[in-house]
Amino acid sequence: MTMKRSRLHPLSVSLATLMMCGLATTAQSQSMRDVESLAKERGLTTADLMAAAKTYLPSGELDEYLMFASGGHAGQVFVVGLPSMRLLRSIAVFTPESWQGWGFGVGNEILEEGFPEGKANLWGDTHHPALSETKGDYDGEWLFINDKINARVAVIDLRDWETKQIIKNPLTLSDHGGTFVTPNTEYVIEGGQYAVPWGSDYAPISDYKEEYKGSVTLWKFDRNRGRIDKDQSFAIELPPYWQDLSDAGKLASDGFFFMNSLNTELATGGIQDKKPPFEAGASRNATDFLHIIDWRKAEEVYKAGKVEQIKGFPVITLKTAIAEGLLHVTPEPRSPHGVDVAPKGDFIVVSGKLDPHVTIYSMDKIKKAIANKTFSGNDEFGVPILDFDSVVEARIEVGLGPLHTQYGPDGYAYTSLYLDSAVARWTMGGTYGSLTPEPDWTLVQKTPVHYNVGHIAAAEGDTVSPDGKYLVSLNKWSVDRFVQTGPLMPQNLQLLDISEQGTTMPVLYDMAMGVGEPHYAQIIKADKLNSWAVYPETGWDPHVQNIEPMAPKKGMERVQRNDDGSVDIYMTAIRSHFNPEHIYLKQGDTVRWHITNTERAVDATHGFAVPVYNITASLEPGETVTIKFDADTPGTFPFYCSEFCSALHLEMMGYLMVEPAE
Amino acid sequence: MSAGIIEKIIGPRVSPEESAKHSFRYGTPGFMLLVARVLLLVSLFFPYWQMELQAPQYPDGLHMTAFLNHLTGDVAEIDGLNHYIGMRSLFEAAQLERTVGVFIMIAFVVMLEFAAYIHTRWTVLLVAPVVFFPVVFLVDLHLWMRHFGLNLDPHAPLSNAVKPFVPTAIGKGGIGQFVTIATPGTGLIMAAVASIMLVVALFFHRRAYLPLVKQKRAAAETPAAN
């Protein structure tokens, strides 16, 4: 059915009312007539009411999908329920967050792991979340996300939705081509972006071509430990182009991954010296290079030891990569943005950004061209260039500023159009062709969004089995969509209904995201997750996901002064008291404050907050934490539970008394 | 002498031929006593009593289940809540009963074993305690709940809002924001069924053996008259 924004036709309304009257059974004896009059009063159309009916969840009803969205320079991950578009959670990753106590008592060691050059960097620029996959489908177990500003990757456990690891890339300082995972999460891949000398050492920009390096890092993921294993990870050196968005092959393209690039011109900017700025220099050529990397071959090369240790990390040099035939490039429209592999892995779709087309490459043709060495030459670093015409399958003009592509289950692909502020729906060819009534490789619909769409995310839309149904347009500008909130305006996440074939995909809902700038997001069926409601046992250390044998237990609370002068405090928290409540310390004490929340009731979270010492921790039921600090400031400090945990919440407090040194 | 008393207590014996001939008459009481014994033994593995507490913030409710010898469910959580009204920990309640419960049940089974062997009115003495057991259980439960409910700490945080009360042992009650629903458990129902079976067994017992006892008594009196 079509959903034009038509005013309610009186006849259709009365007909509907007649039909619905029999169904109206609410106690207040409301009828569809009341709905009709309210709609009229508020100026709502049939389409508006349909949108509301499709998205509204009565209290207590649960969302069908979860969207894990990057938080941009908020440095976090945001989790949104679909179709309600309710913000359910933030997950602190690179940026301290006081509700979760992240960086204020919990997670400090994890944040420190990721400090570049040992310098406290307390924010991140999260871009591309990647849910762990099994056979190319989300398995709901892990989430990875990159930090573009400092080239870091974080691992989040989806049992307790907490960050478990932050790993700093030793070779580069910015990443954008990641994170994405291979079909069984063998590797979490992080592609560098702005070329820098190895380890970001000093080198003048005049040495750009010789000293500045591109790279991609393959982080081995150890599912049992829930950690990236640095000792089994390696990197591949790439030309100092700015490698961009990337995607892993699957099924037909299993064993490969693909990376876009910009600045194959090797522009070095210099506007201050009247040289062309980067924006002009880096977009001069008509084409850039799509990188095609055979990661299984790379893994063999790495395992055979054909690597160089650079900054203490194994790197397959560009020379080796070329010699081993694991790296090829092929021309792509200049300054492209997304490269997105089709569900069966048979097509790779590149969005032109400055070119109104999406360019579709065939994996079959790529494999043939590699086998037959159908090269149109080599780039200036010697990387073989696959002949464009031999690998391209189709080009479709979709509109201005195409950025990212997602897939549906029914032969449609969706591409965001930044300049047009629209989402395009187009038909695929090949074996997908018969699924759609329209001809293959054809634009069928453009739906306006508001405004400047970046990424789009369809339900499981980048897996081997997309669900369709919903698509979220992650818009950069909201302009007039919300009440004015000062000059800094929220992002606008718009929900589109893509469930029906045909030509419409109406916008159902605008969600304001006034806490960060989501870039990419992934949408997973909610029932795939196995979240814990409370920690499995009391005394649980989330960092190791196991019982902490030394965790404070009921009846064993104490303040223990050790021979080395340090102090261990063993404290329990339960509604509505801490035990012990009086803590005497001496100025200069080194303190390890262990607290266990001994609650077992769902949602019986306690907070633990100490003034002056900048401490706050969230203690979820069963959790144990250890907070370390030096009691350097004497005084009397009332600490308290910062969650409104019970009717005696205000009474859940204690005194820390630090006696001044003589 | 003592053999005479024992004989007097266990009453008349029935010959195997007679027993086979009137299998219903002589088999029924023994069979029913056996079923009662099995029911009581099995009941040990089932809850005797349970209470559900419903409140807005616990959509799935809180559940407490009492077996004859232990408490399970959200007892710690319920205790945690009870401290606001100054109620003692439920683990302190009926400690003796929970310790000896299983032994008493085994004693009951042994008593019924004997009861099946005795063919006089002494059987009633052995069966009666078992018959009354479910009632005794409920009365004991009620007394404990009354004791706990009426002896709240007057200085407890919610002593202004919640006055001493008698929780409901069976049925619907309420305390604070909680609705309490107390129901007998499968074990207690088994024990109650056993009680009914025992009463019925006594009826059949009487019908089978009273004529024999009378006969024997009459036989004993006849020679004296001579």
Asked whether residue A11 carries a pLDDT value surpassing 60, the answer given is: no
* C-alpha distances in Å from residue B96, one per residue of B50, B70, B87, B141: 19, 11, 19, 13
Query: In this predicted structure, what is the pLDDT of residue A22?
Result: 46
Phi (first) and psi of residue A618, to 5 degrees: -100, 125
Residue A522: CB atoms within 10 Å: 24
Q: Got the DSSP string for A429-452? A: -GGGGGGSSSPSS-EEEEEE-SS-
Mutate which of B53, B77, B162 to test chain A, going by most A C-beta atoms within 10 A?
B77
Instruction: Domain ranges for chain A, please list them.
Output: 65-528, 540-659
Residue A3 has pLDDT above 50, yes or no: no
* Separation CA A159–CA A156 (nearest Å): 9
Q: Report the DSSP pairing between strands A567-574 and A540-541.
A: unpaired
Does A577 contact B at CB distance below 8 Å? no
Q: How much is the pLDDT for B43? A: 96
Give the other-Cβ count within 10 Å of A513's Cβ. 22
CA distance A218 to A180: 10
The number of beta carbons lying within 10 Å of the beta carbon of residue A479 is 12
Greatest Cα-to-Cα distance within chain A, rounded to the nearest angstrom: 89
Check if the beta carbon of residue A492 is closer than 8 Å to that of residue A455. Answer: no
**Distance between A510 CA and the closest CA of chain B, angstroms:** 31
Task: Give the Cα separation of A577 and A650 in Å (integer).
Answer: 10
Cα–Cα distance between B118 and B123 in angstroms, integer?
6
- Least trusted range by pLDDT, from A229-238, A357-366, A448-457, A499-508: A499-508
pLDDT, average across residues A331-349:
96
The alpha carbon of residue A511 is apart from the nearest alpha carbon of chain B, in Å, by 28
- Considering chain B, what percentage of its residues have pLDDT values greater than 90? 68
Q: Does A450 touch chain B (CB under 8 A)?
A: no
| Tens-place pLDDT, residues A528-561 | 999 999 999 999 999 999 999 999 999 999 999 9
Chain B CB contacts of A644 below 8 Å: none
- Cβ atoms of A229 and A222 closer than 8 Å: yes
Q: According to the model, what pLDDT value does residue A24 have?
A: 45
- Under DSSP, the state recorded for B118 is -
pLDDT confidence bin for A303, thresholds 50/70/90: very high
> Helix (H, G, I), strand (E, B), or coil: what is residue A175?
strand
Q: pLDDT per residue over B178-196, tens digit each? A: 999 999 999 999 999 999 9
Mean pLDDT across chain A, nearest whole number? 94
Q: How far apart are CA A134 and CA A23, in angstroms?
A: 45
Strands A357-362 and A392-397: antiparallel
Question: Do B76 and A600 lie within an 8 Å CB cutoff?
Answer: yes
Per-residue confidence band for A622, with pLDDT thresholds at 50, 70 and 90: very high
Cα(A191)–Cα(A216) distance, rounded to whole angstroms? 4
> Taking 80 as the threshold, does the pLDDT of residue A307 lie above it?
yes
Which residues on A lie below 8 Å from B80 (Cβ)? 574-575, 599, 601
Which residues, other chains included, contact A366 with Cβ-Cβ below 8 Å and sequence gap of 6+?
A253, A292, A328, A330, A348, A386, A391
Select the residue of A600, A646, A647 nearest B77 (Cβ to Cβ). Answer: A600
Residue pair A497/A508 in contact by the 8 Å Cβ criterion: yes
Q: What ipTM was assigned to the predicted interfaces of this complex?
A: 0.77
**Using 50, 70 and 90 to split pLDDT, how confident is the model at A21?**
very low
B158:A647 CB<8 A: yes
Q: Do A574 and B77 touch (CB under 8 A)?
A: no
Scored b (16 or more CB within 10 A) or e, A148-163 reads bbbbbbbbbbbbbbbb
Residue A151 contacts B where some CB pair is shorter than 8 Å: no
B58 with A601: Cβ contact below 8 A: yes
Peptide bond into A576 cis (omega under 30): yes
How far apart (Å, rounded) are the C-alpha atoms in residues A44 and A352? 38
| Residue A123 pLDDT exceeds 60 | yes
**Mean of the per-residue pLDDT values for chain B?**
91
Beta bridge partners of A359: A350, A395
CB distance A534 to A600 below 8 Å: yes
Q: Give the C-alpha separation, A550 to A557, whole Å.
A: 11
- Is residue B225 very low, low, confident or very high in pLDDT (cuts 50, 70, 90)? very low
The two beta strands, A313-316 and A227-238, are parallel
Instruction: Look at residue A25 and tell me whether its pLDDT is greater than 60.
Output: no
CA A627 – CA A567 distance, rounded (Å): 12
Mean pLDDT of the A386-394 span: 97
| A455/A474 Cα distance (integer angstroms) | 6
Question: Distance (Å, rounded) from C-alpha A240 to C-alpha A264?
Answer: 8
Residue A304 class from Cβ within 10 Å (0-12 exposed, 13-18 middle, 19+ buried)? exposed
Residue A89: which H helix or E strand, with range?
strand A86-92
How many percent of chain A have pLDDT more than 70?
A: 96
Beta-carbon pairs below 8 A across chains A and B: 17
Q: Distance between CA atoms of A85 and A55, rounded to whole angstroms?
A: 8
For residue B226, what pLDDT is reported?
Answer: 45
Helices B95-117 and B122-150 pack at an angle, to 10 degrees, of: 170
pLDDT at A81: 98
Supply the pLDDT for residue B116. Answer: 86
Q: How confident is the model at residue B224 (pLDDT cuts 50, 70, 90)?
A: low
Is residue B76 within 8 angstroms of chain A, CB to CB?
yes
Q: Is the pLDDT of residue A456 over 80?
A: yes
Q: pLDDT tens digits, residue range B107-150?
A: 999 999 998 889 888 899 999 999 999 999 999 999 999 999 99
In this complex, is the C-beta atom of B58 within 8 Å of any C-beta atom belonging to chain A? Answer: yes
Q: By mean pLDDT, which of A18-27, A177-186, A572-581, A600-609 is the weakest?
A: A18-27
CATH 2.60.40.420 fits A540-659, yes or no: yes
pLDDT at A28: 63
Res. A14: pLDDT tops 70: no
Burial group, residue B87, by CB count within 10 angstroms (0-12, 13-18, 19+): buried
Map tokens 């404290």 to a residue. A571
Q: What order do you get walking across the sheet with A339-341 strand by strand?
A: A339-341, A347-351, A357-362, A392-397
In chain B, what residues touch A574 (CB-CB under 8 Å)? 80
Residue in chain A nearest B82 by alpha carbon: A575
Taking each helix axis from N to C end, the angle separating B122-150 and B186-225, rounded to the nearest 10 degrees, works out to 150
Q: Are A65-528 and A540-659 the same fold in CATH? A: no
Kindly report, residue by residue over A42-76, the tens digit of the pLDDT: 999 999 999 999 999 999 999 999 999 999 999 99
Q: Which residue has the higher pLDDT, A105 or B219?
A: A105
Q: Which residue has the tokens 């479910």?
A: B134
- Model confidence at B220, pLDDT cuts 50, 70, 90, reads confident
- Encode burial over A56-78: b for 16+ CB neighbours within 10 A, e otherwise: eeeeeeebbbbbbbbbbbbbbbb
Q: Is a pLDDT exceeding 80 seen at residue A149?
A: yes
Domains assigned to chain B: 23-209 (1.20.140)
* Number of helices and strands in chain A (H, E): 10, 44
Which residue did the predictor score with more confidence, A11 or A133?
Answer: A133
pLDDT of residue A50: 95
Check pLDDT > 50 for residue A480.
yes
The answer to whether A605 touches A578, Cβ cutoff 8 Å, is no
Q: Which pair of tokens denotes residue B82?
A: 């009870």
Take residue B148 and report the two structure tokens written for it.
């706990």
Side-chain-side CA neighbours of residue A265 (13 Å): 18
Residues from chain B contacting residue A643 (CB–CB below 8 Å): none
- Average pLDDT, integer, range B76-104: 92
Residue entry with tokens 């809902």? A509
Alpha carbons A424 and A392: distance in angstroms, whole number: 21
Distance CA(B2)–CA(B220), nearest Å, equals 18
Are residues A243 and A258 in contact, defined by beta-carbon separation less than 8 angstroms?
A: no
The two structure tokens encoding residue A259 = 């990376």
How confident is the model over A366-382, as pLDDT tens digits? 999 999 999 999 999 99
Query: Which CB contacts under 8 angstroms, 24+ apart, belong to B94-101?
Result: B94/B140, B94/B141, B94/B144, B97/B140, B98/B68, B98/B69, B98/B70, B98/B71, B99/B69, B101/B68, B101/B69
Q: Are A203 and A212 in contact (CB under 8 A)?
A: yes
Give the pLDDT of residue A17. 46
How far is it, in rounded angstroms, from Cα A230 to Cα A152? Answer: 13
- Rounded to an integer, the average pLDDT of B62-77 is 94
Interface of B with A in 171-200 (CB under 8 A): none
- Which CATH architecture describes the domain A65-528? 7 Propeller (2.130)
Handedness of CA B196, B201, B204, B210 (dihedral sign): negative
A178 or A339, which is more confident? A339
Q: Are B48 and B141 in contact (CB under 8 A)?
A: no
| Chain B interface includes A647 (CB < 8 A) | yes
